Structure 1
Amino acid sequence: MKTTKSLYSYTLVWPALAIYTVFFVVPALIGFYYSFTDWRLDRLEISFVGWDNFKRIFTDDTLILAMKNTFIFAIATVIGKNVLGIALAVALNMKLKSRNFLRAIFYSPSILSVLVISIIFTPLLRTEGAVNGILSAIGLSSLNQAWLTDPSIVIWTIAGVSIWQHTGFQMAIYLAGLQSISKDYYEAATIDGAGSWKSFRYITLPLLLPAININLMLTLIGGLKVFSEVFVLTGGGPGNASQVVGTIILRTFGEGAWGLGTAINTLLFVAVTLISIPLLLFMRRKEVAE
Structure 2
Amino acid sequence: MKISRKLYSYYLVWPALLIYCVFFVLPAIIGLFYSFTDWRLDRVGIKFIGWENFERIFTDKTLLLAIKNTLIFAVATVIGKNLIGLALAIGLNMRLKSRNMLRAIFYSPSILSVLVISIVFTPMLRSEGTINRIFESLGLDFLSQNWLTDPQIVIWTVAAVSVWQHAGFQMAIYLAGLQSISKDYYEAATIDGAGAWRSFRSITIPLLLPAININLMLTLIGGLKVFSEVFVLTGGGPGNASQVVGTIILRSFGEGSWGLGTAVNTLLFAAVTIIAIPLLIFMRRKEVSE
Report TM bin, short chain. over 0.9
Q: Which runs of 5+ in 2 are unaligned?
A: none
- 1:224-266 per-residue CA deviation (whole Å, 9 max, x = no partner) reads 0000000000000000000000000000000000000000000
Q: CA deviation at 1:47?
A: 0.3
Equivalent-residue separation in structure 2 for 1:125 and 1:16 (angstroms): 45
**Deviation of 1:5 (Å):** 2.1
SS of 2:190's equivalent? helix
Match of 1:82 in 2: 82
Instruction: Please give the alpha-carbon distance, in whole angstroms, between the structure 2 residues aligned to 1:120 and 1:14.
Output: 45
Higher mean Cα deviation, 13-22 or 219-228? 13-22
CA distance in structure 2 between the partners assigned to 1:268 and 1:2 by the alignment: 45
Q: Does 1:194 pair with 2:194?
A: yes
Counterpart Cα distance in 2 of 1:180 and 1:221? 26
Question: 5+ unaligned residues in a row in structure 1: which ranges?
Answer: none
Give 1:7 shift.
Answer: 1.2
Displacement, 1:4? 2.4
Determine the C-alpha separation between the residues in 2 that align with 1:174 and 1:73. 22
Counterpart residue identity of residue 136, structure 1 = E
Paired letter, 2:147: W
Q: Distance in 2 between matches of 1:251 and 1:9?
A: 44
| Residue type of the alignment partner of 2:60 | D
User: Counterpart in 1 of 2:256?
Assistant: 256
Structure 1-normalised TM-score? 0.99
Partners of 1:248 and 1:101 in 2: CA distance: 41
Structural mapping, 1:110-125, within 5 Å: 110-125=110-125
Aligned residues: 290
**Whole-angstrom CA distance in 1 between matches of 2:256 and 2:128:** 38
Shift of the alpha carbon at 1:10?
1.3
Match of 2:266 in 1: 266
Q: Distance in 2 between matches of 1:201 and 1:136?
A: 40
Matched with 1:68 is 68
Give the residue type in structure 1 aligned to 2:226.
V
CA distance in 2, matches of 1:3, 1:103: 50
**RMSD across aligned positions (CA):** 0.6
Task: Please report how far the alpha carbon of residue 13 of structure 1 lies from its aligned counterpart in structure 2 after TM superposition.
Answer: 1.2
**One-letter identity of the residue aligned with 1:277:** I
Following TM superposition, the consecutive aligned residue runs of length 4 or more in structure 1 with deviations greater than 4 angstroms are none
**Aligned AA (2:63):** L
Cα separation, 1, equivalents of 2:113 and 2:42: 35
SS at match of 1:237: coil
Which amino acid counterpart does residue 49 of structure 1 have in structure 2?
Answer: I
Distance in structure 2 (CA, Å) of the matches to 1:125 and 1:2:
66
Deviation track 1:23-68 (CA, whole Å, cap 9, x = no partner) reads: 0000000000000000001111000000000000000000000000
1:91-126 deviations in Å (ceiling 9; x for gaps)? 000000000000000000001100000000000000
Distance 2:14 2:231 in 1: 38
Identity in percent: 79
Matches within 5 A, 1:186-265: 186-265=186-265
Q: Match of 1:193, SS? A: coil
Q: Deviations over 1:133-185 (max 9, x none)?
A: 00010110011100000000000000000000000000000000000000100
Please give the alpha-carbon distance, in whole angstroms, between the structure 2 residues aligned to 1:6 and 1:147.
60
Q: Deviation digits for residues 52-94 of structure 1, max 9, x if unmatched? A: 0000000000000000000000000000000011000000000
CA distance in 1, matches of 2:2, 2:271: 42
